[in-house]
Amino acid sequence: MKVIVAEGAGFCFGVKRALKMAFEAARKGDGTVVTLGAIIHNPQVVARLEREGLRVVKNLDEVEGGTLVVRSHGLPRGVLAEAEAKGMEIVDATCPFVKQAQERAAQLEREGHAVVVVGEKDHPEVLSITGSLEGIATVVDGTAKLPELPEAKRYGVVCQTTQPQEHLSAVVLDLLSKSREIKVFNTICEATFERQESALQTAREVDLMLVVGGRNSANTRRLWELCRDAGCDAYHIETADELEPEWFEKKHQVGITGGASTPQWIVDDVVAAVERI
């Protein structure tokens, strides 16, 4: 049985940067060090950070002072203002590509566009983008027709960095029937696009695809959906412990990929477990 690891599997630049900053803040150990929500969507990595002293909290009411490490998904500016008012030191580990999406959305608003964000309404990254605005943005996921939009002469579009290209394209095409002036910033992360293309290519060449990453990771889930839709058997797992021997019966080629928040050591564990099977 041949095992193929897709190119680009595992940590992206933004996640590596965020974790480096988080571990440094935790090890510095000056008082309370927290993140508002998990810094990345991977339970195993979050557990390691907790052992180093970085605590995950649900809201800032749980802390008084200390250090706030901003998760890679970013935070709404109102939350950052609340942290500053508490006298917290802020370590901004927002992914630069997410930061760019926030800035582009704010630019569109300043220019007088009604802002449309393509993404998952309740995803922390999308909340950080919409939270960078003075007004209210419309969030659409690109998988269905547009909802009723606020009346506007001009619309401006940005995208959650981990969305598939086709979702953005579908929203822009739909908007063309509603407005004669649309300004679009394609804020999809290039690394995300390349990882999806590599996973899809690998899925077309194998009998079975394993997508490794946190259950709560949106980009990992999309990788699994792409692989599944490519026509091969595909499973989304968090660790090698979830592998079932019967998955590999009569399989000759197995592909493995990992989401942007999946550490290399977990991917390596899965590869080793598959090779033992």
Copy the structure tokens of residue 244. Answer: 């079932």
Please pick, among 84, 103, 125, 181, the residue that the annotation labels catalytic.
125
Distances (CA, A) of 66 to 24, 28, 117: 15, 12, 33
Token code pair at residue 91: 């370590």
Q: 53: how many CB neighbours lie within 10 A of its CB? A: 15
The set of residues, in sequence order, having a beta carbon less than 8 Å from that of 27 and lying 6+ positions away, is 52, 53
DSSP string, 92-132: E---HHHHHHHHHHHHHHHTTPEEEEES-TT-HHHHHHHTT
- The closest of 190, 195, 213 to 41, measured between CA atoms, is 213
Identity at 240, one-letter amino acid code: A
Task: Reply yes or no on whether 109 is catalytic.
Answer: no
DSSP 3-state percent helix, strand, coil across the chain (nearest 5): 45, 20, 40
Beta carbons within 8 Å of 41's beta carbon, 6+ residues apart = 213, 214, 216, 217, 218, 220, 259, 261
From CA 128, how far away is CA 198, in angstroms rounded?
28
* Residue from 9, 47, 49, 36 nearest 213 by CA: 9
- The set of catalytic residues is 125
